[in-house]
Every structure is written in C-alpha cells, then in structure tokens.
C-alpha cells in the first residue's frame, strides 16, 4: 500500500492530535499531556534534549491528518551523549506503509545531529512487528527487563544501534 506522508518537527498545535493518537493505541506508552507539550520549543541547549516528530498524511504543500509520531531524547554532550528512541506510534490505518521506519530514521538523524553515537530503546516483548522493524533498522538486542510493562504485564526487550 502506498501512502503519501511527510515527517516534521511537532508544533504546539499538534499536541492535541498526538494525545488522541497515543490514547487510541493500547500498547503505546501513555504519558501526561504536559510531557508532550513541553517538547516543542524547549531549550535546545540543555543537558537533556528531546524531539517530537510527527508524520502527517499528504504532500508538503498541503497539511493532512496526523498518522504517527516519535519522541527522541539525548542526554549529555560530546562522546558521552546517549540517545533514546522513547516512543513511536503509528495509526492503525498507516501501519506497514513506511511511516514507522521514516519516524525512526528521522529520530536517529536528529540524535546524530545532537552528538549521540548510538541510540537505545525498549520495546514490549510481544510487539513482534516493532522488534522486526528495529532489527531491519540495524538495532541489536542487548538485554531484557522482566515484568517492566504493566497493563498487561510484559517484559521489555532492550535494543541498541550505533549511528
């Protein structure tokens, strides 16, 4: 299935749509609205930097529906900078169209630009489609956190990719 979409940095006026999408996906991490709202426009020079990227349906010249988002974080600077792909969520109707891959790639690019040499993530062990995507993106499994997730209780697979 072909889907026209674009990835861009989130704006404050995207937060309501991000929350709505996140709440519609049971397996997504459910963060307080204030957590998302603090990311756009945050001080880019701090020790902890975050990005919120959104995927929207349509071409650059026309804005469409929000169909996905990703949150990245970089802690520290220089050789010690560590990046984390904190969250990726894609609307059900937009899955398997390249949206998740594009969001991950854009977050990895942002992490590299912020000075990180690798990106870490954790994913529900039962989320085999996400694990397969991360495998294809060059992430390797580095560990397991037993009983990490709740509702339902589930292990977290830890993964990392050098960039």
Residue 14 within any structural domain of the chain = yes
Share the mean pLDDT of the chain: 92
Model pLDDT, residue 68: 97
Q: Please indicate, yes or no, if residue 22 is contained in any of the structural domains.
A: yes
Residue 101, CA atoms < 13 Å, CB-side half-sphere? 11
CB-CB contact of 124 with 132 (8 Å)? no
Q: What domain range is 101 assigned to? A: 5-121
- Going by pLDDT thresholds of 50, 70 and 90, the confidence category of residue 63 is low
Tokens of 149: 């997730």
pLDDT at residue 62 tops 60: no
CATH of the domain at 32: 3.40.630.30
Stretch 97-106: mean pLDDT, rounded? 97
Cα torsion at 136, 137, 139, 141 (round to 10°)? -30
Domain-located, residue 108:
yes
- Is residue 156 in some structural domain? no
Determine, yes or no, domain membership for 103.
yes
Q: Which residues pair with 123 in a beta bridge?
A: 157
pLDDT above 70 for 61: no
Number of structural domains the chain divides into: 1
DSSP at 76: S
User: Considering the domain boundaries, does residue 71 fall inside one?
Assistant: yes
- Domain membership flag for residue 70: yes
Mean pLDDT to the nearest integer, 31-60: 87
User: Percentage of the chain with pLDDT > 70?
Assistant: 94
């Amino acid at each position: 299935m072909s889907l026209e979409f674009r990835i861009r940095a989130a704006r404050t006026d995207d937060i309501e749509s991000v929350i709505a999408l996140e709440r519609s996906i049971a397996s997504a991490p459910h963060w307080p609205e204030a957590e998302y709202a603090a990311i756009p426009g945050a001080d880019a020079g701090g020790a902890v930097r975050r990005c919120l990227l959104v995927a929207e349906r349509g071409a650059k010249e026309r804005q469409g529906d929000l169909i996905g988002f990703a949150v990245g974080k970089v802690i520290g600077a220089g050789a010690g900078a560590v990046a984390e792909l904190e969250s990726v969520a894609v609307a059900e109707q937009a899955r398997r169209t390249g949206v998740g891959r594009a969001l991950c790639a854009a977050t990895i690019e942002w992490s590299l630009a912020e000075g990180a040499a690798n990106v870490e993530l954790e994913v529900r062990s039962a989320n085999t489609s996400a694990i397969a995507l991360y495998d294809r993106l060059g992430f390797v499994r580095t560990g397991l956190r037993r009983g990490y997730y709740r509702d339902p209780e589930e292990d977290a697979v830890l993964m990392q990719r050098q960039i």
